[in-house]
Structures are given as C-alpha cells and as structure tokens.
C-alpha cells in the first residue's frame, strides 16, 4: 500500500504522495471532465488511458468506468462521477418541483429533507457529486433559466443555498456514502443577463456585485461547499472563466474557499469566442492561471502538457489544480469506496420520496386571485368539470429540465381523476398549442366549456420556451405573455363560462394582466414535479390550503424590466409610465390563502444595538379565518439615511407560522445585524450609526407594520467590540 492509498493518513499527505508519483500527462487528465458517451471499452481506452478527472453519469456505465480506472490505469485513481440532480431526477429517481418552486415554499426544513433524499438516491446510482445548487440571483424573467434558481432575492437565495449544501454534503468535512459533493453555480452574476439572454454580459458596479449577486455564493462557501462552477458570462469585460480577480482574489483569498473550481460546458474554449484568447492553447492557459481547476468539454486543457514542455506554463500551477481535484476525490471517499453500490432504478423513487415531492408541490403553489372565494371547489355540487389546456397532461413541461425518465409523473389530468368523486364527469382536451398558433382544438374546448360547471384551464410555458440555451435551442423570450394560442383559448372559454380557473404550469413569472381579469381565480403551479397533479387537485378541492409565496416579482409588461422589489430610494418617487402602471402585477412575497390572518404588536429587542449585533423581531399572528393555514411573515429592513443610496426595503428574515382556525401565537424572528450593513462608495463594508426601519409585511408591496432599531455610534462601542464578538471589519471608518 502506497501512502496515498492509506485512509488513516491526512488527506494533504496522501495527495502529496500521489502527486509525486504522477507523470505530467497523468496530472493533466485529472483536469478533464468528459461529457462524451463512454459505454464501450474501446471508448474508455481512447479517452481514459491515463485516467480521468470527472465523467457525467447520464451517458456512462459508472461501474465500468470505475473498474477501468482501478484496473487499467497505472495509479488506479477513481473517477469523479457527477449529475445535475438540481431537483432530483437521476435515472429513476424522485422528481421534485423546480428550484424556483422550492423557494416559493419558504420552508428551509422541508428543503433540507428534499436535498438529503436527492443525495441518497444519487449515491444509489454511483454518483458522488452534483452540479447544483444554482445560486444565480435573477432580475429578468425573460431569461430562460430563472426556474433553476431561488428567485430574485439575495438573502432568500443565500438561506436556500446554505441548506442545500449542508443537506447534499452532510455535516462532516468528508462526504459519506449517503451524501454527495455540491457545486454552486454559476459564479458569478449569471442572473444579471443583458437583454434577458443566456450568457449576456454583466456590466455592473462592484458594489452591486457584492450586495446582490455574490452573497448566496459566499454563504455556500461558509457552509462548507466543495465545488464552484464558473459562469458563462463576462463581468465588466472579463469572462468569468478567465477572471483571476473573481476566482483567485475573491473566492480563494478573500473568502478562503479551498475546494475545486470547474468550468461550465465548453466555456474555456469560449474565451476565443469572447475575443480574449488567440486559440484553444491560449484559452487553456488563461483559464488555468485564472483559477479553473477542471474543464468540461475538454478543448483548452488538453494542451497543458505541451504548455509545460514549451515553457509557457509552470508545472507548479498545474499541480495546484491537480491537488484540488485529488483532494476532492478523497473527500468524497472515492479511494476507499471506488466501486459504486449500484441499485436498480426500480428501487428509487420510494414512497418517502413521493411524499416529499407531494409536500413541496403543495407548499409551493401560489394562489394569485380568488374572486368571491371561488376556491376551494365544492366537489359535492359539481356534475361536470372541464380540464382544458396544453399542460393538462404534459409530463415533460411539468417535470422540467435536468430530469431523466423513470419516475411516474402525476399530471393534472391524472390527479383530478384520482381525487374527484366518481360521480363527477371530467371532460378534457388540449384546446391549443404553446409553441405555435394552431387553433384546431379551440372549437372542441369552447363546446366543452359551455357544458361544464367549472373550467380548469391549465396553461403556461413549455420546456422549449423556458430552458437553458444551447446549440440552436433557446428558452429566452422577448415577451412574458402566454405563448401560442393560449390567450385566445382563455378569452373564448371565459366568454362562455365565467366559472373558469387559470392554472399556470411554468418556470417564470408571466405577464397575465388581461387574462387574470377574465378568470374567477388564478394560481401558479410552477413546474411542479412528479406529484404535482395530486397537489393541485387537493388544493383546488380544499383538502390542503395554499401557503406558497412568490420569489420573483411579476411585471405587467416587459417594458418595466428589470423589475425587482429592492429598488433604490431615489428622487421623484412619483414617476409613472404614460400608458402603464408602474406597479408590478404581483409583488415579491405575494400569495393568497383560504384563511385570513391578523398581525399586531410588532416589537424589536434590543432597540439600541451595536454594529453587527443580532436583534429579535416579535409580533402576534392570529388566524381569524375558518380554516387552518400557514402565514409567511416577512421582515424587511430599510436604511433611511446612508452615505450611498440604499434599497427601499430588503428582506432580512422570515418565518412560516402554521395556525389552526382561531389560533394565535407570538412569533419571534432573529435578524442578523450584519444585514444592516452595505458597501460604500469606496466598496468598503460599513454599518452606519443611526436608525434602521424594520417592516413586517405579507409581501414586498405591503405597507405592513414598522418598528425602529437604533445602531449605536462607533466611537461609543469600540471598547466593547471584543467582548461582543463584533469584528473590526463591521465598524465603518
């Protein structure tokens, strides 16, 4: 046994020993992430004669890969095996709602259970790493990948990012056999997409970068994150894959990240397309020196051996990257457990997984409108229900991206069939398409609507119109209206039956200004995963109550974009558009319930604090309705006087409050005093002396209840810094 094979030794010692035994080429191939199909032995020999860094599990026989690495390569270094598992979906595994829906639950405990389940299933298929969570903060819903994120808010995205990392990886420093290494993506500012287009440039101040787009990644690093994926885009003229300030100075030196940095697919060679690299040889050198440790779609890094031999690259720089890759593999236990304990797909997607998927779907759906308490439906009074729309039975649109077939998907059609009483006749038809204007089914839909007691329209977007862009495919849009023949279908159905409910199965906010006025009720079901049909049926029939809240602002029109709730305080606050409202259609945090809540007696303790000191916000919440429900209490902060302009309000805390009808409780929410700080004109983090207004509100547009906390003068508290645990960095100059 060589030292690197001895699990009792410290990982740095093992890595140092292994590195000393490796040839230059054996080092180089550890920086390769192969995306190609490697099913056959001949292909294995062609691409992996000296080993491999990472393989993508969807296209490979994982067991064959690991056996080849162990038995056919000189040093027997196992492969890192990854999948997306963004919301489950490894082959045969449980398919949860998309992350934008997960965030709409505002339920961190539930998400911990979800990601723990995803990790366990991934290990059952030989996967030891995931290319998630997606921590992009999105401010433009035209971008087709908004459904992969947790929405527009840095604080909420940070909290979900922390939970996902800890649940994926477990609580120890090493990854055990029921957990997987997390990869936060896309680093950084990928969500600040110019024109709403995938990979658009991010021209923004360092102040905005640090306050909006970086916090979720920093939170993930502090949670023990093992891997980071660089973003497709550029920031202020520098592509992320060649950005040494971003990947070395900030990520490693400032934040202390010690894990692995990987490229996104093909993005090293895209340095040539950006016009900053001469050729793939040059691109590989730039990316490695900037801080990329492993290249997906190998193009630039295959020249690194030549670069060292030519004197263009110091081998020590390559060694740094190799050490991080080897460390990653050892932390995942691959040297001790190289052969996966593969379980058949039939053993995945357990009853527990389906229960979790159902619960996430129920808690994520958002009730947008409920005129005259149209919902819940009284099943006993119904004779005919018409289920109409292109998404009534579309499994792919419902389950979303990065999923593999295997798990059974319960669509709205199946869900209502299973939940409606047998004496209720369920009529159904598509009515129209999403990707074209075909109206062949319109007449059938209108005729069906005429004879029904209630119409449930299931519209939204398709997997083609809201997705990642690659090749000739694009999920970005110039409009947020209902595509295809959907608006016409809704108009004609509502004309013959006013008892119409609109359900949206989609991945982004949609501007349904006219549509929501025509229907009796409207709700957002998102891409709701494998149990979405049952969740929808139970909510419509009142077996469950709506608790979901929006995590992206819904604009009325694309002309309002970018539109996010934390807009800066400014002069001329009364500015309006000539022909459109300046207000959103639905604000961040918005969502209705079947019951009503009353809030009172908002307090903060202590009222006088030192910079960075935690405070406790408390208030009374009472369910004054006739049904049990869950209130989402949102706490926003506002700094009325600062050295630079500050947001009108910014989320700093929240709580889910379940209450039975007539029940009341006192809610306490801790607020981190560091959230009162900001980056000043010289990009220094400061916490000012003075007032901070704390607002308890139901959503970002709600006036809510307000209380004031006073941050003490710096001079008066400097001597107390050490005893209170407040760092000098939090004290303004």
C-alpha to C-alpha distances, 132 to 127, 164, 429, 712, nearest whole angstrom: 13, 9, 37, 40
Q: Which two tokens stand for residue 520?
A: 């009796």
CA torsion angle for 312, 315, 317, 318 (degrees, to 10)? 100
Q: Furthest-apart CA pair in the chain: how many Å?
A: 82
d(CA 368, CA 503): 10
250-256, Cβ contacts within 8 angstroms, sequence gap of 24 or more: 250/214, 251/187, 251/217, 251/221, 251/291, 252/291, 255/218, 255/221, 255/222, 256/221
Distance CA 526, CA 529 (A): 9
For residue 382, the SS3 value is coil
Pairing of strands 615-623, 664-671: antiparallel
**How far, in Å, CA of 294 to CA of 229, rounded?**
10
Helix H or strand E segment including 290? helix 280-290
293 is catalytic: no
Per the CB < 8 A criterion, the answer to whether 51 and 78 are in contact is no
Q: What is the C-alpha to C-alpha distance for residues 75 and 469, in angstroms, rounded to an integer?
A: 39
Q: How far apart are CA 87 and CA 110, in angstroms?
A: 13
User: Do 231 and 198 meet the contact criterion of CB atoms below 8 Å apart?
Assistant: no
* Number of Cβ within a 10 Å radius of residue 1: 6
SS3 of 705, please? strand
Among candidate residues 50, 198, 264, 393, the one labeled active-site is 264
Q: Which residues of 543-578 are buried (b: 16+ CB within 10 A; e: fewer)?
A: ebbbbbbbbbbbbbbbebbbbbbbeeeeeeeeeeee
Q: What is the DSSP letter of 9?
A: S
**Residues carrying an active site annotation:** 264
């Amino acid at each position: 046994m060589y030292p690197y094979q001895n699990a009792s030794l410290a990982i740095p010692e093992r890595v140092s020993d292994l590195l000393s035994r490796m040839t230059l080429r054996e080092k180089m191939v550890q920086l390769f992430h192969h995306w190609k199909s490697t099913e056959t032995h001949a292909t294995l020999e062609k691409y992996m004669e000296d080993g491999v860094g990472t393989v993508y599990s969807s296209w490979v026989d994982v067991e064959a890969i690991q056996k080849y690495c162990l038995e056919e390569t000189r040093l027997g270094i196992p492969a890192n095996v990854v999948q997306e598992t963004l919301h489950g979906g490894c082959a045969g595994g449980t398919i949860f709602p998309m992350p934008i829906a997960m965030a709409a639950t505002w339920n961190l405990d539930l998400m911990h259970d979800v990601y723990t389940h995803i990790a366990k299933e991934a290990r059952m298929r030989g996967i030891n790493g995931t290319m998630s969570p997606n921590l992009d903060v999105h401010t433009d819903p035209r971008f087709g990948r908004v459904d992969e994120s947790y929405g527009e808010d840095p604080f909420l995205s940070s909290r979900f990012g922390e939970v996902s990392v800890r649940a994926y990886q477990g609580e120890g420093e090493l990854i055990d056999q029921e957990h997987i290494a997390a990869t936060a993506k896309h680093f950084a500012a990928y969500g600040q997409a110019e024109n709403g287009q995938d990979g658009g440039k991010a021209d923004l101040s360092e102040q905005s970068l640090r306050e909006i787009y970086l916090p979720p990644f920093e939170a993930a690093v502090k949670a023990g994150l093992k891997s980071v994926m660089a973003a497709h885009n550029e920031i202020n003229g520098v592509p992320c894959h060649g950005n040494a300030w971003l990947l070395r100075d900030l990520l490693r030196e400032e934040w202390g990240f010690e894990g692995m940095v990987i490229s996104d697919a093909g993005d090293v060679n895209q340095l040539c397309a950006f016009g900053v690299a001469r050729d793939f040889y040059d691109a590989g050198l730039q990316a490695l020196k900037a801080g990329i440790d492993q290249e997906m779609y190998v193009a630039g890094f295959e020249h690194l051996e030549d670069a060292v031999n030519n004197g263009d690259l110091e081998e020590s720089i390559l060694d740094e990257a190799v050490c991080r890759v080897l460390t990653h593999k050892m932390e995942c236990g691959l040297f001790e457990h190289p052969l996966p304990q593969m379980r058949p797909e039939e053993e995945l997607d357990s009853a527990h997984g389906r229960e979790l998927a159902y619960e996430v779907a129920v808690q994520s759906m958002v009730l947008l409108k409920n005129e005259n308490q149209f919902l819940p439906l009284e099943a006993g009074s119904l004779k005919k229900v018409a289920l109409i729309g292109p998404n009534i039975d579309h499994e792919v649109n419902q389950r979303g991206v990065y999923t593999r077939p295997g798990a059974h998907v319960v669509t709205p059609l199946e869900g209502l069939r299973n939940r409606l009483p047998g004496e209720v006749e369920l009529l159904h038809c598509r009515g129209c398409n999403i990707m074209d204007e075909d109206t062949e089914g319109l007449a059938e839909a209108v005729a069906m609507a005429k004879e029904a007691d209630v119409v449930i329209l299931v519209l939204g977007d398709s997997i083609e119109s809201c997705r990642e862009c690659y090749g000739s495919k694009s999920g970005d849009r110039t409009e947020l209206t209902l595509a295809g023949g959907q608006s016409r279908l809704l108009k004609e159905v509502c004309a013959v039956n006013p008892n119409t409910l609109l359900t949206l199965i989609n991945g982004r906010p949609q501007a349904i200004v006219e549509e929501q006025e025509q229907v009796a009720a409207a709700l957002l079901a998102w891409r709701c995963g494998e149990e979405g049909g049952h969740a929808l049926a139970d909510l419509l029939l009142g077996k469950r109550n709506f608790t979901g809240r929006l995590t992206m602002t819904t604009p009325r029109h694309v002309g309002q974009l970018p539109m996010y709730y934390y807009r800066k305080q400014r002069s001329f606050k009364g500015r309006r558009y000539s022909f459109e409202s300046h207000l959103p259609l639905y604000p961040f945090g918005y969502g209705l319930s079947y019951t009503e809540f009353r809030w009172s007696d908002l307090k903060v303790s202590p009222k006088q604090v030192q910079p960075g000191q935690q405070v406790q916000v408390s208030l009374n919440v009472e369910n004054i309705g006739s049904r049990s429900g869950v209130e989402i209490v949102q706490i926003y902060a506002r700094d009325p006087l600062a050295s630079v302009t500050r947001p009108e309000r910014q989320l700093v805390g929240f709580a889910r409050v379940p209450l039975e009808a007539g029940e009341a409780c006192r809610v306490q929410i801790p607020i981190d005093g560091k959230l009162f700080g900001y980056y000043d004109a010289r990009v220094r983090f400061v916490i000012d002396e003075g007032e901070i207004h704390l607002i308890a509100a139901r959503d970002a547009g709600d006036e809510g209840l307000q209380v004031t906390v006073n941050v003490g003068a710096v001079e008066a508290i400097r001597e107390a810094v050490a005893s209170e645990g407040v760092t000098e960095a939090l004290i303004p100059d």
